A = this chain, B = another copy of it.
Amino acid sequence: MNGNFVYANPTKLYFGDEAQKNLAKALSGFGKKVLFTYGGGSIKHNGVYDDVMASLKAAGKEVIELPGVMSNPTVDKLNEGRRIARENNVDFILAVGGGSVIDYAKAVSVSAWYDGDAWERFWVKQDDPLKGERIIPVGAVLTMAGTGSEMNGGSVITNHAANMKIGKVFGEEVMPKFAVLNPRYTFSLPHRQMVAGIFDTMSHIMEQYFSGDDDSTSDYLAEGLMRSVIASSLVAVKEPENYEARSNLMWSSTWALNTLIGEGKSQDWMVHMIGHAIGAYTNATHGMTLSGISVAYYRHVMKHAIGRFARFARVVWAIPTDGKTDEQLASEGIDALATWIKTIGAASEITSLGVTPDMLEGIADATIILDAGYEKLTRQEIIEILRASL
């Protein structure tokens, strides 16, 4: 375990097919005025809205509804939420939905009482930590597994005018106070959204795993999570209502990005950076932007860490080692990843997401280049990875 770090995660998780029964009690520790935010209204058709409203009522809350959070929440929508939160002086924000809704709730949470330009202050300025800003506590009811937003301090916001999609990672004070995780709440999700969430989870794990070549417990935990995600994904794509598979996918996605498996590691995150730039250009589903470029990306960086990619093949994909060189194994591991992407029905390329060759330079320019992982990419390398992903 490299370096010095602090692990602190106060989010309380209520898990199971009756998890929502804890919601009223979980809410009771917070103030009376609750901003109840959600997405396009699918929760009104699958019973989740009614469950939540019943809990809010049982807890004696005054509810202000804020629907219409889009799948890539925008600065304009954020500003609407900030205004509503302030005007109503809300005590708590309850996010009901997937990662976009929870990211959005956290964005409102930190910026509602900030007087300036929230986009500039909290997203464009990545290295500017919170300085005692007033924060509105957030809770979550999860309806889509994948982003891990329910147990971390991350919040991704999109600015279409600037063609920018930026994720900010806040600390423990912004993490949800609690999250209700009922795997059955994810059953009515469209198949494509489920698959996107599965790949998002896998990508979170890989982007922490593929950095360094030390012997870290975090990598062993990551391998366990990847094996579980792969096993359950193969069941879930055939039987979307298989509770065991969906519950494993939900639990894995939470633990894939709640800081645990990244502790003591440098981490990479370039797939997410490129994926965000594609998302800003096309508004494509987040998980699909990641699957669309991952194979090309990992083939590109593999040369820097043959041992780690060979281990990925051996441990995660159980590829027999007999007589193979590490180079062969490493390559076969990425082949297995590519096959799995096809098998579960995630995007294998980015053309189907609306990316055209003339966009590549712009996407590369919109990509935030991190100095992490196995190499710091150049603009030209990003264009090559994008071209190989068309």
Q: Which residues of A does B touch, CB under 8 Å?
A: 1, 3-10, 12-19, 22, 183, 214-218, 220-225, 227-228, 231-232, 244-245, 247-248, 250-252, 255, 260, 263-264
- CB A25 to nearest CB in B, in angstroms, measures 10
A225: which B residues are within 8 A, CB to CB?
217, 220-221, 224
Partner of A19, one of B4, B9, B22, B218: B4
- CB A218 to nearest CB in B, in angstroms, measures 8
- CB A205 to nearest CB in B, in angstroms, measures 11
* CB <8 Å contact, A7 and B1: no
* CB <8 Å contact, A15 and B231: no
Given contacts A223-B224, A224-B224, contact A217 B251 (CB under 8 A): yes
Partner of A220, one of B3, B14, B217, B224: B224
A14 to B9, CA, bound (A): 12
Number of copies of this chain that the complex holds: 2
* CB <8 Å contact, B221 and A15: no
* CB <8 Å contact, B10 and A6: no
A260: which B residues are within 8 A, CB to CB?
255
- CB A324 to nearest CB in B, in angstroms, measures 15
A17 to B4, CA, bound (A): 7
- CB A203 to nearest CB in B, in angstroms, measures 17
A222: which B residues are within 8 A, CB to CB?
224
- CB A338 to nearest CB in B, in angstroms, measures 22
Would you list the 7 A-B pairs with minimal beta carbon distance, nearest first? A4-B16, A224-B224, A220-B228, A220-B224, A1-B247, A7-B13, A8-B12
